[in-house]
Amino acid sequence: MGHVGTSVVFTRSGILVVAVIIASGFLGFLDDYISIRNARNLGLNKRGKFVGQLLIAAVFAVLSIDWVHTSTNLSFTRFSLPGWNLTSIGWIVLAILVIISSSNAVNLTDGLDGLAAGSGTFWLRRVGDHRLLAIPSLLDLPLARRAGPRTGRVGLVGACLGFLWWNAAPARIIMGDTGSLAIGTGLGALCLLMNLDLLLPVIGDSSSPKRRR
């Protein structure tokens, strides 16, 4: 909220990224709250959590098309490569799959002290490494005065690094679904809105810890 009241312009894509992160974080909070209230490691049932993720992903996908007017081209590092137009329906389906998959992937990664937050920091850094290859969502605004998806990425990186101070082994606090779902959803949303659709698996694989043989 540090940009509120300043001349910095919030882009629609930036607002949407923040909104979907908050929505997924709230879904994770419900799961964690139910687990704590019932004093057992069972929060929302699988169907309830999936329905919540599906609803969040669907709303994000529709708003990306109708409100943000994002490109519907399948992209690797920019909307023109490979440049296959998925149409609005196809892109919405892709976006739903990406959001649900990325949020669950980070959720499953959150099993060891500092693993999800540490991996999330590297994943989000990889997204930043390719920022110059992605096409800005609003070219008519000066980059320094625009609070868009990149601002959300920096915020997530800062949150992960700050959390690592307390979550590094031996952990004093844990992330839970509140953090893991928010990070995963944010990562997927950033890649979709920054035209890095096909780069997401590469980002995840290149920054994930590898098992030694």
pLDDT in tens, 191-200: 898 888 787 8
Q: Which of 14-23, 31-40, 138-147 has the highest mean pLDDT?
A: 14-23
- What average pLDDT does this structure show over 34-47? 82
Ranking 18-27, 90-99, 173-182 by mean pLDDT, the lowest is 173-182
Give CA–CA dist 123/47, Å, rounded: 28
Q: Which of 46-55, 122-131, 190-199 has the highest mean pLDDT?
A: 46-55
Confidence of residue 115 (pLDDT cuts 50, 70, 90): low
Read off the pLDDT of residues 147-159 as tens digits, 9 standing for 90 and up: 566 667 777 777 7
- What average pLDDT does this structure show over 50-73? 94
- What average pLDDT does this structure show over 115-123? 70
Which among 51, 57, 47 has a CA at the least distance from the CA of 94? 57
What's 147's DSSP letter? E
Six-digit token string for 12: 């629609």
Residue type, 163: F
pLDDT of residue 133: 47
* Residue 77 near residue 196 (C-beta atoms within 8 A): yes
Backbone Cα Rg of the chain: 17
- 3-state secondary structure at position 11: coil
Averaged confidence pLDDT in the chain:
77
Ranking 27-41, 69-83, 114-128, 155-169 by mean pLDDT, the lowest is 114-128
In 110-175, where does DSSP find H-type helix? 115-129, 149-167
pLDDT of residue 100: 95
pLDDT of residue 106: 86
- What average pLDDT does this structure show over 109-120? 68
In the chain, where does DSSP find H-type helix? 12-37, 46-66, 87-109, 115-129, 149-167, 176-193, 200-207
**Residue 152 contacts by C-beta under 8 Å, 6 or more apart in sequence?**
14, 17, 18, 21, 186, 190
Confidence of residue 202 (pLDDT cuts 50, 70, 90): confident
